[in-house]
Amino acid sequence: MFTTRPELTGDFGMVASTHWLASATGMGVLERGGNAFDAAVAAGFVLQVAEPHLNGPGGEVPILLWSEAEQKVSVVCGQGVAPAAATVGRFTELGLDIVPGTGLLAATVPGAFGGWMLMLERWGTWSLADVLAPAIHYAQHGVPVLERVAATIESVQELFTDDWPTSAATWLPGGNVPAAGSKLANPVLAATYRRVVAEAEAASSSREGQLAAARKAWYEGFVAEAIAEFSAKTAWRDSSGEVHGGLLTGDDLARWSATVEEPLAFDYRGHTVYKTGPWGQGPVFLQQLALLQGFDLDGMGFLTADYVHTVTEAAKLAFADREAWYGDADVPVSDLLSEAYNAERRKLVGAEASLELRPGAPGGRAPRLPDYPAPGTTSAAPGLSGARSPQGVGEPTVARNGLVKGDTCHVDVVDRHGNMVSATPSGGWLQSSPTIPELGFCLGTRAQMFWLQEGLPASLRPGTRPRTTLSPAFALRDGRPWLAFGTPGGDQQDQWSVNFFLAVVHGRLNLQEAIDAPMFHSEHFPSSFFPRGSRPGVLHVEDRLDAGVTAELRRRGHEVEVQGPWSLGRLSAVARDGAFLKAAANPRGAQGYAVGR
């Protein structure tokens, strides 16, 4: 089949990401003797500068990795937690029944720095100064402005000018929206990272000592102090339409640290797929496989109406369970992935599209769903004024005077030693929250994923992680490390990545063919993002999907909305395949790239 670019094949190293500068940076690290972990860290910090509308230093990062020395998969959790003062009662006192999508109230502890540093310390070999050098260079001297960066800044120009002047100072040079193709720098951010390096090198002469000192500077030193002061002493208009200060304190940052955890795994037709725990949505990928293993997808044929219908209906069931059961809590994962449970759930997949949200009862437990905004919500969310619902895909936040979409990045690396990384950094988008002027970046808004209702797995509780959508993936094939992959896309991540995986396993496509194949996803279940609306029965498909398939899906009751030919999915992947290393990246949006040799 036609592909937009070749599947890369070599034996030295491969890097694939959502931006060519990050991919080139990672490959440069491999060429200079660094391993996959060093390369992923350097690429991750470059993504903060090259894609500031999609991630930033104030965000978070979950990572899945394969260590060839340890012969195992590990999860690095760089997802920060809710502040100690963030309670349901505190928000209720402010007249809110949903966490705003922008501003200081939605901030959690910025976990990305800690997550990257933990992986670098435990598995990497490079120094702090070396991995940060590319990001510092690009922040100081500038990066080419993507069309989407220019469009994002333009969409919030009035907000920045009228309400967030610190953001205007950073992102509106000379008071103007930077033109697509121009060069945009962030010298304040460069200075922040240079100071972290300087303090680390002054504190210790060893690599490990410097990394420990860097974490201290971030979570207990000058970075934490600036964040805490900004949260306590300033207040800004957010997506509720009101002006609020923040809840994050220095103690919140000092108490938090990134962790290494065991992944969850599921075996599917000779493959073992690994995901994070249910504090993220990752297990929903595994639940879809557990449901789909009872269907003959090979017999249906790749991307036929039967195939798309079955995959979509399985996704609806798995995501319904996400809504009822997932969170940073005691989640009945073993029951949710059991064959007995999924055999019963599988019976709910009928010939027609379901228009209901149908969570199950794992282990006989009764499901409880949040009190959602009305399905199809497009106006102000309950209890909020001046808010408008986001449209389209991605991980949206909503600002006054317009629609604002934030999103996510992804990077995959495999090195000549066999080490592999899949990481999905996100949050702290330039449009999330006002820029902290001393640091050159803003806080994230991941707390918008909590529910302001007591007793739910994803209820807001101090010191807990929001049920994030960030979902890197890793897979073994026949018991051997094989594939690191992932995508931006919020609630779509564990639909697009499942579709990619199935395209390789059942469609027998290579990595690039699977990424380029026509993509689809459902908007049936509630969004994880403010204002948490849903569109029951809605199925998005690229218009490259066969017209007859689209017509048949409509006949079966799907509310099919046809999108542009190259508009859905932003996957990248690297693989170990026999004697070769392989890589592929998304052509959509003209920024993702894979490099290797």
The pLDDT assigned to 1 comes to 78
Are the CB atoms for 49 and 138 separated by under 8 Å? yes
The pLDDT assigned to 376 comes to 54
Residue 364 DSSP one-character state: G
CA contacts within 13 A on the Cβ side of 118 = 23
**3-state SS assignment for residue 280:** strand
Nearest CA to 557 out of 352, 349, 305 is that of 352
Nearest CA to 61 out of 17, 101, 31, 100 is that of 17
Six-digit token string for 44: 């991750």
The pLDDT assigned to 374 comes to 61
Looking only at Cα atoms, what is the longest distance across the chain? 68
- The pLDDT profile of the chain, 597 residues, written as one tens digit per residue, is 789 999 999 999 999 999 999 999 999 999 999 999 999 999 999 999 999 999 999 999 999 999 999 999 999 999 999 999 999 999 999 999 999 999 999 999 999 999 999 999 999 999 999 999 999 999 999 999 999 999 999 999 999 999 999 999 999 999 999 999 999 999 999 999 999 999 999 999 999 999 999 999 999 999 999 999 999 999 999 999 999 999 999 999 999 999 999 999 999 999 999 999 999 999 999 999 999 999 999 999 999 999 999 999 999 999 999 999 999 999 999 999 999 999 999 999 999 999 999 999 999 999 999 988 765 543 333 333 333 333 222 344 333 333 344 579 999 999 999 999 999 999 999 999 999 999 999 999 999 999 999 999 999 999 999 999 999 999 999 999 999 999 999 999 999 999 999 999 999 999 999 999 999 999 999 999 888 888 999 999 999 999 999 999 999 999 999 999 999 999 999 999 999 999 999 999 889 999 999
- DSSP codes joined into one string, 129-175: HHHHHHHHHHHHH-EEPPHHHHHHHHHTHHHHHHT-HHHHHHHSGGG
The pLDDT assigned to 531 comes to 86
Bridge-based pairing of strands 559-563 and 538-542 is parallel
Cα separation, 308 vs 517, in Å, equals 13
The pLDDT assigned to 393 comes to 26
Alpha-carbon distances of 429 from 49, 153, 194, 221, rounded to whole Å: 11, 11, 21, 23
- DSSP codes joined into one string, 402-457: EEEEE-B--EEEEETTS-EEEE--BB--TTTS--BTTTTB----GGGGSBSSTTST
Cα separation, 381 vs 389, in Å, equals 8
Residue 467 C-alpha from the chain's centroid: 11
Q: Helices 20-31 and 128-141 meet at what angle, rounded to 10? A: 150
Q: Which secondary-structure segment (H or E) carries 290? A: helix 283-292
Are the CB atoms for 502 and 517 separated by under 8 Å? no
Residue 263 DSSP one-character state: P
Residue 590 C-alpha from the chain's centroid: 19
Cα separation, 130 vs 113, in Å, equals 15
Bridge-partner residues for 278, per DSSP?
none
Six-digit token string for 304: 């036929």
pTM, full prediction? 0.95
In angstroms, what is the C-alpha Rg of the chain? 22
Cα separation, 96 vs 233, in Å, equals 21
Are the CB atoms for 400 and 15 separated by under 8 Å? no
The pLDDT assigned to 540 comes to 97
